Structure 1
Amino acid sequence: MNQIASSPAEIVINGRFLMQPVTGVQRVARELTCALDRLVAEESLPVALRLVCEPEAELDDLGLRVTQVERAASRWGRKLGGHAWEQLVLPGHVRGGHLLCLGNTAPFASLHARQGVTVMIHDLSYRQFPLAYRLHYRLGHRIMLPSLLRRAQTILTVSEREKAMLAALRPEARGRIRVAQNGGWGRAAPMAEAVTAGGDAPEPGYMLFVGSLSRRKNIHGVLAVAVRLAREDGLRTLIVGGGSDILSPIAGEVPADVAHLVRFAGPVTGLDALGQLYRNAGCVLFPSFYEASALPPIEAMHFGCPVVVSAIPALTERCGTAAVYCDPHDVDDMVAAVRRVLADPAPLAAKGLLHAAHWTWRDQAVRVLDAVLGPEVMEAQQKARRSAEAPAGEAPGMDLMLAGEPQQAPCPRSTEGTVSNRIPTLSGTDCERA
């Protein structure tokens, strides 16, 4: 600890996520990397950040200010990418820094070496919903997880629910598991700025789903609700998201009589375009069977869009009393929830705006730095900096408390005032049957 306190600590960020398709995990990694960069720059923290990535990685949109970027190529004259790059190339570029891995995996060589490794394990969905994922993905993570739990110096996860599940797998790791909930809306256009989401975007007032087309996300339930509301209420639905090579394929068709009201938009990776879709939606339906720290509900709240989410522990922890809850197994309950919200959206939208403001990437970055360096180290560095900056005879200010717990949204377990108070216990079999 004294060594860290006397000289700047170096955190080496594993940049493998920069070469992956942008889904939830990659969005978190990108936003958190930016937030760490801003935090260190704006607070003049004694931390050196180095982002090690593949040579072809594009990161101009990150706008990094103080983070050193190192493009690492294979020394064997052969291009390596993905898992091979992470396992074989990255370890040789850590050079004594503390390796921060934000995407569920880490190099085995670094885990087994005498160096600090912090890994963020976002969720264990492949264990809870095995049929939603392809075999190679499930096997890879099942092989890696024991090493992560046993050898990582610190394990970050994104909800208390996930922490409990990880600790149940390896109880002796409980003291090394830290929770850092995801932020909300990030580096996009200001909320008041209108942008065009595409010439074929539907008229405002539609129901919106944002997420991967996965069994875990209850995409079949979303389609059932969309078809019913189209037939009975004439409501339009926009489904944003796509599949991937790690997800099992989804079979689902929209009946011809409502095909003009239910539309698949595919992935929308531009944040400005995605923000416009949230802004114009009448509500977001997010009836997932399993989540850890979902982004779409909080993003929708940021744009004043009311949300209907499934009554599962991670989403009650994330959304508090700012959402209407539904039973993801019950189409009638989901339809009733959407109708209730659309009949009187203003109160829930106003509550969501206030709630979304509590979830920031800066708070998550603070928690990550505390986890990597230790709160006592950061507190000592902050006290020293405040004392040096304070005028003679004046008490140092309290501008940033990195060692403390940053204020975040309350996490009530009650779903009072919602459509459904049922919080079902879900199994993989149940979800595949739903």
Structure 2
Amino acid sequence: MRSKKKYLIDGRFLNSMTTGIDRYAYQLLACLDKICKESDIAILVPANAKEIPAYKNIRVIVKKRTRFWTQLVFGPYARLHGRIPVNLCNEASVLAPKGIVCLHDVCYAESEKMYPFLTEFPKEERDWFLKIYQRICKKADRLVTVSEFSKQRIHALLGVPDEKIAVIGNGWQHFNGVTPDMRIFEQYPQLKRKKYFFTLTSVNRNKNLDWVLKAAENNPQAQFAAAGRKLDSAVDFSQYPNVTYVADVSDCEIKALMQEAKAFIFPSFYEGFGIPPLEAMSVGTPVIVSHAASLPEIFGTAAHYIEPDNPRVDIEKLLAQPVSEKEPVLARYSWEKSAEQLLSLLKEN
């Protein structure tokens, strides 16, 4: 009789909880916990994590936080206890046995000719991520990624066979549990409901905040709002009178800004998936996204499209163009479906 396979999930993301990748792991495991009663799955969590999850079926193991957690704590623990490592956040331990790794995208392996914004990343940063990609390919029996686009790029750039890569996408249902905080409009009275365009972004060049700023210059009659951590460290917003920088926003404030916006703008050059437009779509807000990377795959004909290198767009005219219904897009992606796919993958591995 074959012994039941034992899995160990890297809980390092619980010490951060700041990125879309962290959200992916958190939401996926919350749903996996509900359906994995017959499986032997544990998660190794740093003692100083922001949250120690109260799972019912996934066993939670807490260990003292150490530098290089994945390499020096998670990996050796998996090997010592004979567990198959599972990492959902772009990393693999050289000391762990081979296992399952989620690689969300391979941005740093792309060519500068195809994606010129990559020239702005320091060579040391690109080299660092390339080493991580190589380590993941070496240590993964199966790779998971979040879109067919990312699967194709992993195959093309890293030489991973198609049959070794499973696509398990993101969801949006976490947004249902967020209560919009309308007090944000008291703080920023210049933002009139249904009268502004909203973007949630970062200073990373692939997010392409410049498109929004230049589009604001080209559409001086329109009002824009931009939210994201430390955007004002890279942009002098005083130079853009019709752009309001909304600093340090909570999820509740983000939901308020999304649902009351005229449209949500997501002009990225490169995305493995793109959760924010899905969140905006879930509250009934039109979305404007780049015709680039994974975004056409995810949003199909339900979004308005722009070219990420061309901000000379009449944004009102763009928004007036018809798009298809959002419901098929929302129905295609859910954390529950993704958890079922992950469980099936664990049983196959």
Q: Shared fold by TM > 0.5? A: yes
Q: Which runs of 5+ in 2 are unaligned?
A: 111-116
How far residue 264 of structure 1 moved from its aligned partner, in angstroms, is 1.8
Q: Is 1:106 matched with 2:86?
A: no
How far residue 196 of structure 1 moved from its aligned partner, in angstroms, is 3.3
How far residue 63 of structure 1 moved from its aligned partner, in angstroms, is 5.4
Q: Which runs of 5+ in 1 are unaligned?
A: 74-78, 376-434
Amino acid at match of 2:83: G
**Which of 262, 268, 274 is the equivalent residue of 2:243?**
262
Q: Which moved more, 1:350-359 or 1:220-229?
A: 350-359
For 1:197 and 1:108, locate their aligned partners in 2 and report how far apart those are by CA, in whole Å. Answer: 48
**Which of 311, 317, 324 is the equivalent residue of 1:340?**
317
For the Cα contact (< 8 Å) 1:126–1:132, is it kept in 2?
no
Q: Is 1:189 matched with 2:177?
A: yes
Partner of 1:71: 62
Question: Who wins on radius of gyration, i.e. which is larger?
Answer: 1
Q: How many residues align?
A: 337
The CA RMSD measured in Å over matched residues stands at 2.6
For 2:319 and 2:282, locate their aligned partners in 1 and report how far apart those are by CA, in whole Å. Answer: 18
Provide the secondary structure at the position in 1 that maps to 2:198.
strand
For the Cα contact (< 8 Å) 1:31–1:187, is it kept in 2?
no
**Which of 3, 6, 29 is the equivalent residue of 1:10?**
6
Q: 1:164 to 1:323 in 2, by over 3 A?
A: same
Amino acid at match of 2:40: A
Partner of 1:362: 336
Provide the secondary structure at the position in 2 that maps to 1:252.
coil
Q: 1:283 to 1:341 in 2, by over 3 A?
A: farther
Provide the secondary structure at the position in 1 that maps to 2:150.
helix
**Which of 101, 117, 140 is the equivalent residue of 1:152?**
140
**Which of 123, 127, 138 is the equivalent residue of 1:139?**
127
CA deviations on 1:99-149 (whole Å, 9 max, x unpaired) are: 110111111111xxxx34111000111233534445554232211222321
Partner of 2:113: none
CA deviations on 1:241-273 (whole Å, 9 max, x unpaired) are: 1259xxxx97433354x43x31222353x4333
Partner of 2:168: 180
Amino acid at match of 2:147: S
Amino acid at match of 2:203: L
For 2:238 and 2:252, locate their aligned partners in 1 and report how far apart those are by CA, in whole Å. Answer: 31
Partner of 1:208: 198
For 1:366 and 1:36, locate their aligned partners in 2 and report how far apart those are by CA, in whole Å. Answer: 7
For the Cα contact (< 8 Å) 1:218–1:288, is it kept in 2?
yes
Superposition TM-score, scaled by structure 2 size = 0.87
Partner of 1:289: 269
Amino acid at match of 1:99: P
Alignment of 1:3-152 (within 5 A): 3=2, 7=4, 9-20=5-16, 22-40=18-36, 45-59=37-51, 64-73=55-64, 80-81=66-67, 84-94=68-78, 95-110=81-96, 115-128=97-110, 129-152=117-140
Q: 1:331 to 1:117 in 2, by over 3 A?
A: same
Partner of 1:394: none
For the Cα contact (< 8 Å) 1:13–1:99, is it kept in 2?
yes
Amino acid at match of 2:103: I
Partner of 1:397: none
How far residue 323 of structure 1 moved from its aligned partner, in angstroms, is 0.4
**Which of 205, 216, 219 is the equivalent residue of 1:226?**
216
For the Cα contact (< 8 Å) 2:271–2:295, is it kept in 1?
yes
How far residue 238 of structure 1 moved from its aligned partner, in angstroms, is 1.3
For 1:362 and 1:132, locate their aligned partners in 2 and report how far apart those are by CA, in whole Å. Answer: 38
Q: Which has the higher strand share?
A: 2
Partner of 1:351: 325
For 1:276 and 1:354, locate their aligned partners in 2 and report how far apart those are by CA, in whole Å. Answer: 24
For the Cα contact (< 8 Å) 1:122–1:157, is it kept in 2?
yes
Q: 1:372 to 1:35 in 2, by over 3 A?
A: same
Amino acid at match of 1:204: R
CA deviations on 1:339-390 (whole Å, 9 max, x unpaired) are: 135557xx75x82244223210111112222222218xxxxxxxxxxxxxxx
